[in-house]
Amino acid sequence: MKQIISTVFLCLSVSLFAQVDEKDVLFTVDEEPVLASEFIRVYNKNLDLVKDESQKDIDAYLKLFVNYQLKVKEAKRLELDKAPKYVREFSNYKSQLTKNFMSDNKVTEALVKEAYDRSTEDIKASHILIRLDVNEKDTTEVYNRLLKLREQIKKQGFEAVQKEVHDGKTIYAEDLGYFSAFKMVYPFENAAYNTTVGEVSMPFRTRFGFHIVKVLDRRPSLGEVTVSHIMISNKQNDTALNPETRINEIYKKLQQGENFESLAKQFSDDKSSSSKGGRLSSFTGGQLSSQEFEDVAFSLNEKNEISKPFKTDYGWHIIKFIQKKEMQPYVEVKALFENKVKRDSRSKLINSVLAKQLKAKYILTNNKEALSYFESLINDNFFKRSWALPQDLDKEQTFLKIENQTITYQEFAKHLFSSQRNYINKKLDAKALIQKEYDSFLETKLIQYQKDNLEFENQEFAHVLKEYRDGLLLFDLMENQIWNAASKDSLGLIQFYEANKDNYVWKDRVDVIIMSSASKKNAKKAYDALQKGASVEDIESKLNTDGAQNIISTKGVLETDHQALPKDFELKEGVSGVYVHNEAYHAIKVNKIIPERLKTLEESKGKVISDYQNQIENQWITTLNERYDVKINTEVLKKVKSQILN
Question: For residue range 145-155, what is the model confidence (pLDDT) as tens digits?
Answer: 999 999 999 99
Q: Give yes or no for a contact between 220 and 121, defined as CB atoms under 8 angstroms apart.
A: yes
Question: For residue range 91-146, what is the model confidence (pLDDT) as tens digits?
Answer: 988 888 887 777 656 778 888 899 999 988 888 899 999 998 876 777 889 999 99
Same domain (yes/no): 245, 322 = yes
Query: What pLDDT does residue 356 have?
Result: 87
Same domain (yes/no): 289, 383 = no
The answer to whether residue 634 sits within a structural domain is: yes
Query: What pLDDT does residue 9 have?
Result: 34
Range of the domain at 285: 224-326
Question: What 8-state DSSP symbol labels residue 551?
Answer: -
Query: What pLDDT does residue 11 have?
Result: 39
- Is residue 184's pLDDT more than 70? yes
Same domain (yes/no): 139, 204 = yes
Last residue of a domain, one of 220, 253, 274: 220
Q: How confident is the model at residue 54 (pLDDT cuts 50, 70, 90)?
A: low
- Is residue 287's pLDDT more than 70? no
Q: Give yes or no for a contact between 494 and 604, defined as CB atoms under 8 angstroms apart.
A: no
Q: Is 291 left (phi over 0), alpha (psi -120 to 50) or beta?
A: alpha
Question: For residue range 318-333, what is the model confidence (pLDDT) as tens digits?
Answer: 999 999 887 788 888 8
Query: What pLDDT does residue 22 have?
Result: 80
Query: What pLDDT does residue 173 have?
Result: 94
- Is residue 497's pLDDT more than 80? yes
Q: Is 30 left (phi over 0), alpha (psi -120 to 50) or beta?
A: left
The average pLDDT across 476-487 equals 82
pTM of this structure: 0.51
Same domain (yes/no): 200, 234 = no
Same domain (yes/no): 215, 229 = no
The answer to whether residue 435 sits within a structural domain is: yes
The answer to whether residue 9 sits within a structural domain is: yes
Same domain (yes/no): 207, 231 = no
Query: What pLDDT does residue 12 have?
Result: 37
The answer to whether residue 355 sits within a structural domain is: no
The answer to whether residue 42 sits within a structural domain is: yes
Same domain (yes/no): 142, 198 = yes
Q: Give yes or no for a contact between 210 and 187, defined as CB atoms under 8 angstroms apart.
A: no
Question: For residue range 503-540, what is the model confidence (pLDDT) as tens digits?
Answer: 998 888 889 999 999 999 998 999 999 989 899 999 89
The answer to whether residue 277 sits within a structural domain is: yes
405-408, strands of its sheet edge to edge: 364-366, 398-402, 405-408
DSSP 263-331: HHHHH-S-HHHHTTTTB---EETT-SS-HHHHHHHHH--STT-BPPPEE-SSEEEEEEEEEEE-PPPHH
Helix axis angle, 634-645 to 58-77, nearest 10°: 130
Lowest average pLDDT, out of 14-28, 102-116, 287-301, 614-628, goes to 14-28
- Is residue 3's pLDDT more than 60? no
The answer to whether residue 625 sits within a structural domain is: no
- Is residue 18's pLDDT more than 80? no
The average pLDDT across 444-466 equals 89
Q: What percent of the chain has pLDDT over 70?
A: 94
171-179, strands of its sheet edge to edge: 171-179, 121-131, 209-220, 204-206
Question: What 8-state DSSP symbol labels residue 602?
Answer: T
Distance CA 481, CA 493 (A): 15
DSSP 454-484: HHHH-HHHHHHHHHHHHHHHHHHHHIIIIIH
- Is residue 6's pLDDT more than 50? no
Last residue of a domain, one of 177, 197, 220: 220
Same domain (yes/no): 318, 394 = no
The average pLDDT across 339-349 equals 82
Q: Give yes or no for a contact between 60 and 66, defined as CB atoms under 8 angstroms apart.
A: no
Three-state secondary-structure class, residue 226? strand
Cα dist from 582 to 207, 243, 317, 461, 551, whole Å: 60, 21, 20, 51, 15
Same domain (yes/no): 250, 182 = no
Span between the terminal Cα atoms of the chain, in Å: 26
Same domain (yes/no): 370, 453 = yes
Same domain (yes/no): 378, 291 = no
Q: How confident is the model at residue 401 (pLDDT cuts 50, 70, 90)?
A: very high
> What CATH number does residue 528 fall under?
3.10.50.40
- Tell me the average pLDDT of the chain: 87
Count of residues making up the chain: 646
Domain count, the chain: 5
Q: Is 49 exposed, middle or buried (0-12, 13-18, 19+ CB in 10 A)?
A: exposed
Give the DSSP H or E segment for 632.
strand 630-632
Same domain (yes/no): 372, 414 = yes
Q: What percent of the chain has pLDDT over 90?
A: 42
> E strands, 74-222, where?
121-131, 171-179, 204-206, 209-220
Distance CA 90, CA 99 (A): 14
The answer to whether residue 344 sits within a structural domain is: no
